[in-house]
Structure 1
């Protein structure tokens, strides 16, 4: 890495139902001489939640899914859009490529994205592209949602079939594959205008070509530009010892302070972003039983500015003093060989992920809390420093003079991941079905982090270089303004064997037993380095921590193994009603602390451990899947009780503990919840949708030795007690056109930002409304839409990651038009 289907008879409606439906449809009925569309039906969605293709209503697992058709109808282009319509998903993060996903209330405040590569824990929700896991610490892959067959969400622990990091659930993007069914092509364009912001545009297209009788090719490409809506406004910053208690001790009463302005960076709507990429697939149908699929996905994501605002500065406004920019390039190559041997279904899936991230972040707010701020920013009053540290005499002053307080951060991260899975499914008897396999995973994350302090260069600190004996990605001397840097390589190697067997006890009752044995080895090498002492004309190579040396991580590599069980029983009460109960477990790997094993700065605080352990989840749930009212109402849901032990919690406390962020197994909690979703065909024209979740979360035990936690009984962060959505869609035909209108509401109750006491902020409840109208004929579709009709400013997440509290919010009211064409 360089440095730098079927028709269903409608039931007879009551007068009240007909009156309500008539009222909902009034606007359309009065405007057009309607002709009813083809008789309505609930769409059948096939899912692979059990790694077998099944009707979602016949799968005894909690699954929420949206088909490709529904994704287009709801104008969904990324996972943030999809999460609005899932009943039990919340997001914590700071913009494109920087989000953490939480399911069923199993949330923890995200570690600062600046440390996601070097220090971040693995997410507790796994992300898959088809068969390939692409989960990454602190930076879930933000893939543009185009040409998808569906998106699946599997809430709750999925440890048996999907393994580590499927602790709270699994999200799967299922792509459209090459088909021999015939030539197919299409394109879509969008134009949007955002209130308070810039225009947005997108263009995407796909083509499917049968090349021969047994070979098909499919490609999709896209280019998306999203206009900004947050302003970087003029401001000035001065080091203030009244805010940072450490600085007030170091500086004395007569210090002087240089102010810095951000005039060169002032810009309206500075948080624009883009997605550019494509997916290319080739599928060879070897014979009637076997096929080989090769796919390559590539994407470049770029973003400027920040996607949260500072209410102290103004609505949708911040003052930033160092450039904020992100570039995230992904290449994923995958292959799937599948077929049959006698009565065995065999699948081998492999993939290689290559991801490179470069990001710069304004870190000037660190002046408000950081330790040693005066040391790295201000002149000195002790004349002995001239001799002891070879300091230039011009930096010895009668009173301390504080220089440019600007601080910035730059990172380069290289993620490589190779996965292999071989599994076999069989139905050896009419009553018994088995899925079993072996999984191998090798991950490597290389991270180069630089913390830039202009004052360090001005004061004459020696340039920094890696510790000579340490493992290094880059042994280059860092620029003179780099006060701290990480040069760290993390690896994780895993092997697992899994099996799930289902036995039909009777025609109505089935039992499933699943087991997964895993063996994990996690390694951590390199160094964290800091400027210490001033040696003009030399290079500083011995200040920092060598993580392979004595006193570093002498316990590495970290090895963990175990067995994850699952048991469920399903009862098919009728051919349209099923109940199921499940016991399942999940886990998340442990890891290393950069600052572990060193005494805390405040002797009242114990030292941080060198490692932190796995956190474990035990889940009990009861669910139901129903088709009622002559199959015009689909109502699914489940109730669950979750025990979450030894939760991995991050903390940054430079005053009392360490200037290095650390992680601790700090608490345990319980969650009691319900999640439901429904679809109701009210008339041939009107369909109603709804999804709802309730989560009663609480801390039951505080294990923290170092982190100051919220008290026992507190709710978990980023988790509204209630949240959900309601949608209505009305379809009709007139003059050869198919028309529709849609309205949707998303709501969430109050929540909190963190379980760390000092960072726990209340996040207000909110409601968001969207509306659209569309027309379709002969493959052409035109849609006009308004997102965030009321221009609500929702508080999605309050973060203090730059030592200045900012609010992540939704995009302001956006009015747009899309044009699509598909040729079959």
Structure 2
């Protein structure tokens, strides 16, 4: 969030669209915007500027479904992180299993299981200013403070943004240095979480001119998020039964008494940004920036419903340390009559984690016992003296990620014909290390060179792409405009290294499946070396028509893609890119002297050969291209400002996303088959064709609710020389399936629908403000994700104690807070 925002809201872009604005005003959520300018409230909705099409232009002139939150609106909604603003974007959905592990989706384009470091790239592009910060490690958890704008762009943006902008783009635009004046500010906040602890944060910024044509902007922040999940006392017995073939096995009791703790999921985040802007001359501007952020998270942000509200049982320490840094350079200027922009950046991210994996051993032990008294999972693990040992596991993650990108664009924004022409280059490297550890494990069962390690993943992933792109606009008449775009791309993605067991534990996988000496340091050998390359195009065609100065309709055909990749189990072929085709009709309109805005868009999307992750042999994620899905939807938003004191913002989406063909499994070549149930099983398939579909035609796609909506009302009033306000927000959605496959969905069930309510009251005068708020006022437990820690058919079963292994992620409980801000 930002202070009072008055100085920051006046900042402008380096260049703007020279065409006369049609005078359209701006709206709130979803297909338009929620941006509010500083200063006194007006009995109109104010005009704003966005850069979603890589140029500054009036939002109501943009024939795209956009949600934009400006500095003041982010402040009004008490936004400091992704979770705070995502609930106000109805076309957006997400899944998060814990701190710094969020995967974002737009418009129902999700098959489930995304976010694995060795699997599909994201379907939503994420940008910080001009630079892409999309990472396979999940959504970059940027702290939101001193931010000019957050833009959510729904639908494929394949021509201007390319790979991984398949279903949409999220853009975070920072406030830039301003050579025109000194400014500074700070915000202090304290809050108390129901069922939890006290949290607090400090944020501050300084804008310092250093010359008539140059300025530096510094930003710093610290945030302590209160814990609210309790790690309860619990125990597990291994093995659950005595194996007659191993009469010497002694049952081992494991308890978590040393880790019992209330409110154990606290998080600390701190970081800083610095930017230098220099106006080189009247035509050229250079902006150099750098940022760093570190988050330290303890515990887990999920609970076990079988253990009661906000309770969980963890048997090994859970922690996650996520740190990242980015450096960027942007040059903007004129070359003759053309605008030229260069944007280059380098991003480094490191995530170190320790995660309890006790469920794996426990539920596999339960599964083995169901086969009979001679089956026992615990008997596979013993120490150097061949005594049985505690078979439970935990894993340590060490993920190192680097990304650099370069983009150069030439554009002409004047006249009847306008264009942008650009080149883009991107290189991502991800060094993956995960150790699955069983304490006191026999040396012969270990992965060679890794003490107590039953399984090792140590791989390098490279994702590289190049692109040339253009987008044009041509005014056929004063009211009718043609839009066309194309992007030619090439990608080259590879995955190589080692994953699996040591040869002493498995005679067919891991070390036993190696085919070459080690090419990754500290691995026993190489059992994975796969590359996929391809070229292709994305396209965009559209028409816009101005009904009058404040109303527009548009029609768009656009495509988006997600690159293919390598599977980490060598016999499997790489998975191919998947493509999304979007047909969209939309409108943007203002009524009643610009006091009422109504925007909307209807869309139909076809998702062909979509990448579908499943858990295969040894619980490894495999990605194959399934058949196809279709998605219908409608988005709408409105803003109503009947007086200079009252504003009402509302938005909603309706999405119907489902399979358009049966999914019956994959054949031996990794291709899906759809003809089931059949009279005779085909030996060329891996599944049983005589069985019903694993997911039938019409099966809903997971995670995405049919309906999602939000409504925010704000009333401002004088209090002597001060201005007071009261505000209330309601956001919610209906139920959504948790999984695509019928069997998995039957075990885990739906993510239940929910409604969240927030309130705030406050005072402001001149340069200070004071706000009291309550978020999640009725202390609801929204089901944001339901999942298990290992294959659903194993960890989703019910154990001897009556519990299953299904966890639920939820929002922070009722939080009451007080915030003070001051701008100098």
Query: Where does residue 472 of structure 1 map in the other structure?
Result: none
1:464 is displaced (CA, Å) by 2.4
| Cα distance in structure 1, aligned partners of 2:536 and 2:175 | 36
**For residues 483 and 163 of structure 2, what CA distance do their matches in structure 1 show?**
20
Contact 2:660 2:697 in 1 (8 A): yes
Q: Secondary structure at the match of 2:610?
A: strand
Kindly state the Cα deviation for residue 791 of structure 1 after the two structures are TM-superposed.
0.6
> How is 1:203-218 mapped onto 2 (pairs within 5 angstroms)?
203-218=202-217
Query: Which string of whole-angstrom CA distances, capped at 9 and with x for unpartnered residues, describes residues 91-135 of structure 1?
Result: 111122101111111123234x6xx33x13111011110111111
Q: RMSD in angstroms over aligned alpha carbons?
A: 2.7
Structure 1 partner of 2:175: 176
Matched, 1:701 2:687: no
**Match status 1:103 vs 2:88:** no
Residue 198 of structure 1 deviates from its aligned partner by 0.8
Structure-to-structure mapping, 1:516-527, within 5 angstroms: 516-527=487-498
Correspondence for 2:546: 572
CA offsets 1:564-599 (integer angstroms, 9 cap, x no match): 1111110011010000010011111111112241xx
Whole-angstrom CA distance in 2 between matches of 1:258 and 1:627? 70
Report Cα offsets for 1:197-224 as digits up to 9, x if no partner.
Answer: 0111000000101101111100100000
**2:647 aligned partner:** 687
In the aligned structure 1, how far is the partner of 2:288 from the partner of 2:325?
14
- Which of 746, 761, 768 does residue 756 from structure 2 map onto? 768
Q: Distance in 1 between matches of 2:346 and 2:326?
A: 6
Counterpart position of 1:311: 305
Is residue 486–residue 540 contact of structure 2 (8 Å, CA) maintained in 1?
A: yes
Q: Residues 671-729 of structure 1, C-alpha deviation per residue, up to 9 Å, x if partnerless?
A: 10001111100222111010100001111124531688432211111111001101100
2:813 aligns to what? Answer: 812
Counterpart CA distance in 1 for 2:293 and 2:336 is 40
Judge conservation of contact 1:462–1:531 (CA < 8 Å) in 2. Answer: yes
* Contact kept in structure 1, 2:362 and 2:392, CA below 8 Å: no
Match of 1:435 in 2: 420
- Work out whether residues 214 and 284 of structure 1, in 8 Å CA contact, stay in contact via their aligned partners in 2: yes
2:741 & 2:517 partners in 1: Cα distance?
A: 31
Paired with 1:136 and 1:554, the residues of 2 have a C-alpha distance of 22
The one of 733, 742, 746 equivalent to 2:727 is 742
Match of 2:264 in 1: 270
Distance 2:390 2:337 in 1: 72
After TM superposition, list the pairs within 5 Å mapping 1:73-222 onto structure 2: 73-111=76-114, 116-117=116-117, 119-222=118-221
**1:621 and 2:584 aligned:** yes
Contact 1:87 1:676 in 2 (8 A): no
**In the alignment, structure 1 residue 495 sits paired with structure 2 residue 466:** yes
Q: Equivalent of 1:559, from 514, 533, 537?
A: 533
What is the number of residues matched between the two proteins? 735
Could you say which residue in structure 1 is the equivalent of 2:770? 782
Contact 2:497 2:527 in 1 (8 A): no
* Contact preservation (8 Å) 2:226, 2:263: yes
Q: Do 2:381 and 2:391's aligned partners in 1 also have CA atoms closer than 8 Å?
A: no
Distance (whole Å) between structure 2 residues aligned to residue 710 and residue 563 of structure 1: 31
Q: Deviations over 1:9-32 (max 9, x none)?
A: x9xxxxxxxxxxxxxxxxxxxxxx
Whole-Å separation in 2 of the counterparts to 1:132 and 1:251: 61
Residue 785 of structure 2 is matched in structure 1 by 797
Render the CA deviation track for 1:491-522: whole Å, top value 9, x for unaligned. Answer: 01111000001000000000111000000001
Q: What's the counterpart of residue 276 of structure 2?
A: 282
Alpha-carbon distance in 1 for matches of 2:653, 2:42: 31
Name 2:612's counterpart in structure 1. Answer: 649
Give me the whole-angstrom Cα distance separating, in 2, the residues matched to 1:197 and 1:710.
Answer: 41
Q: Shift of the alpha carbon at 1:183? A: 0.3
Q: Secondary structure at the match of 1:264?
A: helix
Q: Any stretches of 5+ residues in structure 1 without a counterpart?
A: 11-35, 243-247, 382-390, 396-400, 466-476, 598-608
1:409 maps to 2:372:
no
Does the 8 Å CA contact 1:553/1:610 hold for their aligned counterparts?
Answer: no
**Conserved? CA contact 2:528–2:570, under 8 Å:** no
Shift in Å at residue 39 of structure 1? 3.5
- Provide the residue aligned with 2:318 in structure 1: 324
Larger mean Cα displacement after TM superposition, 407-416 or 130-139? 130-139
Secondary structure of 2:361's partner?
Answer: helix
Q: 1:426 to 1:38 in 2, by over 3 A?
A: closer
Partners of 1:621 and 1:748 in 2: how far apart? 23
Separation in 2, partners of 1:361, 1:552: 26
Q: Deviations over 1:1-52 (max 9, x none)?
A: xxxx99x9x9xxxxxxxxxxxxxxxxxxxxxxxxx96543313221111111
- Per the alignment, do residues 778 and 369 of structure 1 end up closer, same or farther by CA in structure 2, a change over 3 Å counting? same
Q: CA deviation at 1:255?
A: 5.6
**Whole-angstrom distance in 2 between the partners of 1:407 and 1:453:** 5
Contact (CA 8 Å) 1:753, 1:762: kept in 2 or not?
Answer: yes
Report if the CA contact (8 A) 1:503-1:511 is conserved: yes
1:258 to 252, 256, 261: 252
SS in 2 for 1:611: coil
Aligned to 2:457, which of 486, 489, 501? 486
Task: Tell me by how many angstroms 1:663 deviates.
Answer: 1.4
* Deviation sequence 1:61-104 (CA, Å, 0-9, x none): 11110111100111001111111111211111112210111111
Q: Which moved more, 1:281-290 or 1:361-370?
A: 361-370
Measure how far apart 1:668 and its partner are: 1.6
Closer/same/farther in 2, CA of residues 332 and 434 from structure 1, 3 Å limit = same
| SS of alignment partner, residue 609 of structure 2 | strand
Tell me if the contact between 2:361 and 2:377 (Cα under 8 Å) persists in the aligned partners.
Answer: no
Residues 56 and 376 of structure 1: CA distance in aligned 2, closer, same or farther (over 3 Å): same
Q: Distance in 2 between matches of 1:441 and 1:435?
A: 19
* Shift, 1:337, TM fit: 0.6
Q: What's the CA shift for 1:380?
A: 8.5
- String of CA shifts for 1:385-407, please: whole Å, max 9, x gaps: xxxxxx96x52xxxxx7521321
Q: Is the 8 A contact 1:527 1:544 kept in 2?
A: no
Question: Counterparts of 2:483 and 2:526 in 1: how far apart (Å)?
Answer: 46
CA deviations 1:741-773 (Å, max 9, x no partner) are 100101100111111333322111111110000
| CA distance in 1 between partners of 2:528 and 2:658 (Å) | 36
The 3 A distance-change label for structure 1 pair 676 and 548 is farther
SS where residue 160 of structure 1 aligns?
A: coil
The equivalent of 2:673 in structure 1 is none
- Contact kept? 1:528, 1:546, Cα under 8 Å: no
The alignment partner of 1:182 has SS state of: coil
Work out whether 1:719 is the aligned partner of 2:719: no
1:403-435 Cα offsets, whole Å, 9 max, x none, are 2132101110111001000000114x7210000
1:354 aligns with 2:325: no
Q: Which consecutive residues of structure 2, in runs of 5 or more, have no partner in the other structure?
A: 1-9, 11-20, 26-38, 369-374, 520-524, 667-685, 688-692, 796-804
CA contact (8 A) 2:495 2:568 kept: no
* Aligned pair partner of 1:633 in 596, 600, 624: 596
SS of 2:72 mapped into structure 1: helix
- 2:438 aligns to what? 453
**2: CA distance between counterparts of 1:584 and 1:380?**
55
Q: Secondary structure at the match of 2:469?
A: strand
Q: In the aligned structure 2, how far is the partner of 1:260 from the partner of 1:251?
A: 23
Alignment partner, residue 499 of structure 2: 528
